[in-house]
Amino acid sequence: MTKIFLYMFRKYLIGFTLAISILLSINLLIIFLSELKNLGISQYDLILLVKYIIFLVPQNILDIFPYALLIGSMIAFGSMSHHSEIVALNSIGIGIKKIIFIILFQTFFISIIISFSGNHFASDSAIHAQNIKNIALNKNTNNKEVWFKGKNTIINVKNVLTEYNLKNIEIYYIDNGMMSSIVTADKGTYNKEWNLESIKIIDINSNKIINKKSLTISSDNFIPFQVLKSSFHKKRYHSIQDLYTNIAYFDERGIYYEDHKIVFWQKIFLPFSCCIIVFIGIPFLFTKARSTNQSQRIIYGILFGITYFVISSILINAFLILNIPALVSVLISMGIFIMFGFLLFNRLVKTNIPI
């Protein structure tokens, strides 16, 4: 049994490696072509473009590996089915149920490893890539603007280069419902505290203007760093730990954060989602040998597997509109497709092949 397990796992890894290599190459080529429009702007040259793409590789692997698992499993076990190896396994007492269990176990094992390693490396790498691009393009020309209301302040940052670098800052101080002073700064940098440079303080009460080279403000009295970090980067770039910290921060302040909770739970349940899409796809490999040709079965399996991520995303957004909690939304969408997988198994496999 161990030899059969290792043989199937080797076939699976070959199919997965082939699939992820092709998908990753296509994905990076699309990113490269889309970034050509920025080439030559400010300091964004070809070397920085290549660096940007290289640092995006771990995140891209994390994004596409579920699809690579689906395609790799269809290629590997479709080949086994085509060469009657599945029939040979059945003849020695290994039924379809056991074969599917082995495939799902191997899928879970591979996805756990990639999810765990990707969670540690992909997030920092993707954020660094985004920072390289923004700094090189000197993105003070973009429309990324942040407003934040503190206890006695209203803060406006007109240009966010990175979560550590801000430009064109205005702080409005409120006293008893009246504006008491305005502080403007050309730029601000974060290193445990915010250091603002080229300061202009307008004291409305005394009608005075004070100029300073710099001013240090704690994160509590400015825009909390957690807010900037969570709003500046794409949600999928955040690690599970960062998402959890952000959720705890915003829950404590009663701020709506369900969209980030969705991403958090999707990352937590990603290995199970990978098993679901494979479970939806592989029944097509075990239909009657003469019912459809091999390529059609593989295509059907891949298409049905990919529908999981498409339709589940639609379902989750619909559940959010209905104010259903993020965790419940994710679990319901997964449950629906698990039942759909069992339906396919019963219709395509159980009625045609001894299990």
Question: Per-residue DSSP letters for 263-302?
Answer: HHHHHHTHHHHHHHHHHHHGGGGGS-TTTS-HHHHHHHHH
φ, ψ at 115 (rounded to 5°): -65, -45
Most confident of 72-76, 272-276, 342-346: 272-276
Per-residue confidence band for 142, with pLDDT thresholds at 50, 70 and 90: very low
Per-residue confidence band for 30, with pLDDT thresholds at 50, 70 and 90: very high
Q: What is the mean pLDDT of residues 252-281?
A: 85
The DSSP result for 36-92, as a single string, is GGGTTSTT--HHHHHHHHHHHHHHHHHHHHHHHHHHHHHHHHHHHHHTTHHHHHHHT
Pair 103, 282: CB distance under 8 Å: yes
Question: For the chain, what percent of residues have pLDDT higher than 70?
Answer: 91
- Asked if the model's pLDDT at residue 324 lies above 70, the reply is yes
Pair 281, 346: CB distance under 8 Å: no
65 or 139: which leads in pLDDT: 65
Measure the CA–CA gap between 345 and 341, rounded to whole angstroms: 6
Measure the CA–CA gap between 158 and 97, rounded to whole angstroms: 59
Handedness of CA 74, 80, 82, 87 (dihedral sign): negative
- Asked if the model's pLDDT at residue 275 lies above 90, the reply is yes
Task: Write down the mean pLDDT value for the chain.
Answer: 83
Through-space distance between the first and last CA atoms of the chain, rounded to whole angstroms: 17
Query: According to the model, what pLDDT value does residue 140 have?
Result: 45
- The single-letter DSSP state of residue 316 is H
Measure the CA–CA gap between 293 and 195, rounded to whole angstroms: 66
Q: What is the mean pLDDT of residues 140-165?
A: 75
Query: According to the model, what pLDDT value does residue 292 have?
Result: 53
What's the pLDDT tens digit per position in 329-353?
889 989 998 998 888 888 776 655 5
Q: What is the mean pLDDT of residues 302-310?
A: 82
Query: According to the model, what pLDDT value does residue 67 have?
Result: 92
Q: What is the mean pLDDT of residues 54-74?
A: 91
Query: According to the model, what pLDDT value does residue 141 have?
Result: 40
- Cβ-in-10-Å burial (0-12, 13-18, 19+) of 98 comes to middle
SS3 342: helix
Query: According to the model, what pLDDT value does residue 344 have?
Result: 81
Q: What is the mean pLDDT of residues 164-180?
A: 84
Pair 238, 123: CB distance under 8 Å: yes
Q: What is the mean pLDDT of residues 238-244?
A: 83
Measure the CA–CA gap between 247 and 241, rounded to whole angstroms: 10
Measure the CA–CA gap between 34 and 115, rounded to whole angstroms: 27
Query: According to the model, what pLDDT value does residue 41 have?
Result: 80
Most confident of 53-62, 140-149, 175-184, 290-299: 53-62
Residue type, 144: K
Handedness of CA 347, 349, 352, 355 (dihedral sign): negative
Rg for the chain, CA atoms, rounded: 26
- Asked if the model's pLDDT at residue 277 lies above 80, the reply is yes
- Cβ-in-10-Å burial (0-12, 13-18, 19+) of 196 comes to buried
Q: What is the mean pLDDT of residues 309-319?
A: 85
Query: According to the model, what pLDDT value does residue 353 have?
Result: 58
Query: According to the model, what pLDDT value does residue 21 have?
Result: 94
